[in-house]
Amino acid sequence: MLLWLLLSLLLLLSLLLLLSLLLLLLPSLAMLRWPWSQDARLSWLASLRHRVAWGVLGWVATWQQRRLEQSTLHVGQSQQQALRWCLQGAQGPRSPLRRSTDISTFRNHLPLTKASQAQEQDSRGKLLPPISNQYHGEASLQATLLGLVALHKAYPETLVPGGTACVTATSPWPSPLPWPGHVLGQVSPPGAKDPGALLLEALRSPELRVLEAGTAVELLDVFLGLEADGKVLAEAIAAGNPGAPLPRRAAELQEALEQGPRGLALRLWPQLQVVVTLDAGGQAEAVAALGALWCQGLAFFSPAYAVSGGVVGLNLWPEQPCGLYLLPPGARFIELLPVKAGAQEEAASTLLLAEAQKGREYELVLTDHISLTRCRLGDVVRVVGAYNQCPVVRFIRRLGQTLNVRGEDIGEDMFSEALDRAVGQWPGAKLLDHGCVESSILDSSEGSAPHYEVFVELRGLRNLSEENRDKLDRCLQEASPLYKSLRFRGSVGPARVHLVGQGAFRALREALAACASSPFPPEMPRVLRHKHLAQVLQNRVVS
């Protein structure tokens, strides 16, 4: 009966879609009899394809929006369905989990399991979190469709023909769109993967409204590479076509680069309005650097929050400066583990989505339907509101990125805030990237107390004085009374700050991508747990 209803619904939607397409096409087809030039006809065809694509996607997005409304209004029932789907793989006909949706039975028979420390963690003999290389599925498609519609509503002039360019091999949209998505404004051909060719195509298009990249750290690498190879790119643009427009565009590129990084994107693309990247952990620093320099004056939008297990949060609010994400009760079964102040306790029981309280912090727990593991992802969120009965959250930190040499537990968010305050006291400096290593990893604590080795990449400062290096340790003491106490007793040594050369963190990301356990999307670790990765930065220290 349910299958018959679904087929009937799909048939009805198909008929409505064909009717809408016919209404779109009839006025336009009548215009074909007009005596137009070849350029006018091509422009008209592009406009027609764009209108048809939006018609198709509009219908599908409306359907997804209604499904989201229903599932978030009846979140308890929706999570029961998600749990039932996850437990379909329960082994054995007499398994207590088979055909059961009792949450107590589920929790008793499937204990919580911690995810691997970070993407550089060796996977041999260790349980990795559920991994999806391309986020296919309902949550991914829903995030992509609703994100496109939300972006169009917030910035109506963005998704025009030829107005969008992706400059990385990976897309910020969690799910690849079929044919309609390819005509919504992309200047590069579908399937293009070479980063150099993608950037070159974007530079040839001065009328871009939307700039896309897989993640913010990837976009940061693009702009750093653009500065380094600007002359070569300008020559390639000039040589690409002997006509007048492209040589003029090459001259515009060189002139824009000569004025420095601040506001470069708007000089290259004066009509640019928004930058779209995927939030995948460890991206806030790159977003801040891009917003302060190359992408100054532009809005940033992440359509979803992604972890190694898939899409867990949808962003329906592009106008918000800091990413807000709805945790939907979709096919993936999500639980919330309360986070207590101080050290993380194991005694707390998980909560369902409807039980979340505003202002509280929770660690996300995701159940993998293939291996039937309840995986603690390590991502901590703070509930800031609600959408119907589901929590709206802001991502705070990753528990796997905590520094701890004497039980002080300096979290990712606390360290980043302390580092930002310290860099703010370094005249002319702008932080581009950073990474931390506990001294035991590099064997640098022999003869001294354990401490942090901190590697930073900066813009505007070529050398670090001892006075500037000491400011980070003072800021850490101000942020953490326990760290201050350990420093006063000499149990922990002062943090050692090292300045690395340009390209050091790009080399680190290449080393991370080469790891067999590297997840998709590429999270950016801030605490390195392996010596060979830490040495990538150590070998590129310049001060």
Segment 422-476, tens digit of pLDDT: 999 999 999 999 999 999 999 877 778 999 999 999 999 999 999 999 999 999 9
Q: Which of 159, 127, 136 is nearest to 58 (CA)?
A: 159
Amino acid, single-letter form, for residue 202 = A
Segment 264-305, tens digit of pLDDT: 999 999 999 999 999 988 899 999 999 999 999 999 999 999
Strands 164-166 and 496-499: unpaired
Specify the pLDDT at position 4: 43
**Residue pointed to by tokens 């601040």:** 262
Give the 3-state secondary structure of residue 139. helix
Q: Please count the CA atoms within 13 angstroms of the CA of 438 that sit on its side-chain side.
A: 16
Specify the pLDDT at position 219: 96
CB 496 within 8 A of CB 473: no
CB 209 within 8 A of CB 157: yes
Specify the pLDDT at position 2: 38
* Burial of residue 165 (number of CB atoms within 10 Å: 0-12, 13-18, 19+): buried
Distance CA 419, CA 415 (A): 6
What's the longest Cα–Cα distance across the chain?
87
Report residues of the chain scoring pLDDT below 70.
1-48, 50, 89-101, 116-136, 177-185, 189-191, 240-246, 309, 341-348, 516-522
Helices (H), 366-523: 412-423, 466-479, 481-489, 504-513
Helices (H), 111-215: 138-154, 195-203
CB 134 within 8 A of CB 543: no
Distance CA 104, CA 94 (A): 18
Give the 3-state secondary structure of residue 427. coil
As given in the structure block, the two tokens for residue 424 are 């703010």
Specify the pLDDT at position 220: 96
